[in-house]
Chain A
Amino acid sequence: MPETLNKASAGAAETPAVTPVPVAAEKPRSLWSDAWRDLRRNPVFVISAVLIVFLLVVAAFPGLFTSVDPDHADLGKHYLGVPSYSHFFQEDWFGYDVQGRSIFARVLFGARASIIVGVCVTLFVTLLGGLVGMLAGYFGGWFDSLLSRITDVFFGIPLLLGAIVVLNAFTHRTIWTVVLALGILGWTQLARVMRGSVLTVKQADYVQAAKALGAGTGRIMFRHILPNAIAPVIVVATIALGGYIAAEATLSFLGIGLPPSTVSWGNDISSGQTVIRTAPHVLFFPSAMLSLTVLAFIMLGDAVRDALDPKLR
Chain B
Amino acid sequence: MTIIEESATVPAPRAGDDKGGPLLEVRDLHVEFHTRDGVAKAVNGVNYSVDAGETLAVLGESGSGKSVTAQAIMGILDMPPGKIPQGEILFRGQDMLKMSAEERRAIRGRKIAMIFQDALSALNPVLSVGYQLGEMFRVHQGLSKKDAKVKAIELMDRVKIPAAAARVSDYPHQFSGGMRQRIMIAMALALEPDLIIADEPTTALDVTVQAQVMDLLAELQREFNMGLILITHDLGVVADVADKIAVMYAGRIVEQAPVHEIYKRPAHPYTKGLLESIPRLDHKGQELFAIKGLPPNLMKIPGGCAFNPRCTMAQDVCRTDIPVLHQVTEQDGTDLVGRGSACHFWKETIHG
Contacts and interface: CB of A to CB of B under 8 A. Distances in A.
A17 B295 contact: yes
A9 B33 contact: yes
Interface string A1-19: 1111111011011011111
Residue among B37, B62, B204 facing the most chain A CB atoms (10 A cut-off): B62
A15 B63 CA distance: 10
Contacts of B77: 6
Contacts of B67: 3, 5-6
B300 to A, nearest CB: 7
A3 B63 contact: yes
B95 interface: no
B118 A5 contact: no
Contact of A12 (B36, B65, B71): B36
B124 interface: no
A1 B60 CA distance: 12
Contacts of A19: 37, 297, 299
A6 B40 CA distance: 10
B36 A18 contact: no
Interface string B221-240: 00000000001010000000
Nearest to B251: A5
A3 B37 contact: no
Contacts of A9: 33, 35, 40, 42, 81, 298
A3 B200 contact: yes
Contacts of B342: none
27 contacts: A1-B62, A2-B118, A2-B200, A3-B67, A3-B117, A3-B199, A3-B200, A4-B62, A5-B62, A6-B33, A6-B68, A6-B77, A9-B81, A9-B298, A10-B33, A10-B35, A10-B82, A13-B35, A13-B36, A16-B62, A17-B298, A18-B33, A18-B35, A18-B63, A21-B295, A22-B297, A23-B297
B35 A2 contact: no
Interface in B188-223: 199-200, 203-204
B296 interface: yes
Residue among A1, A7, A10 facing the most chain B CB atoms (10 A cut-off): A10
B227 to A, nearest CB: 21
Given A3-B64, A15-B40, A18-B63, 12 more contacts: A2-B62, A3-B199, A5-B42, A5-B63, A6-B71, A9-B40, A9-B42, A10-B33, A12-B36, A13-B36, A18-B33, A20-B294
Nearest to B294: A21
Nearest to B34: A9
A19 B168 CA distance: 43
B66 interface: yes
Interface residues of A, number: 20
Contacts of A15: 35, 40
B298 A18 contact: yes
Nearest to B67: A3
Contact of A2 (B81, B203, B296): B203
Contacts of B117: 2-3
- Residues of B in contact with A, size category: 20 to 34
Contacts of A4: 62
B78 interface: yes
B42 to A, nearest CB: 6
B81 A21 contact: no
Nearest to B35: A12
A133 to B, nearest CB: 27
A4 B77 CA distance: 12
A13 B68 CA distance: 18
A1 B199 CA distance: 13
Nearest to A23: B297
Given A1-B62, A18-B63, A6 B82 contact: yes
Nearest to B203: A2
Nearest to B60: A3
B299 A5 contact: no
A266 B67 CA distance: 59
Given A5-B62, A19-B37, A10 B297 contact: no
Contacts of A22: 297, 300
Contacts of B231: 3
Nearest to A3: B67
A7 B76 CA distance: 11
B81 A18 contact: no
A270 to B, nearest CB: 47
Contacts of A21: 294-297
A9 B35 CA distance: 7
Q: Which 6 A-B pairs have the closest CB atoms?
A: A17-B63, A9-B33, A3-B67, A21-B297, A12-B35, A10-B78
B114 to A, nearest CB: 13
Contacts of B118: 2
Interface string A197-219: 00000000000000000000000
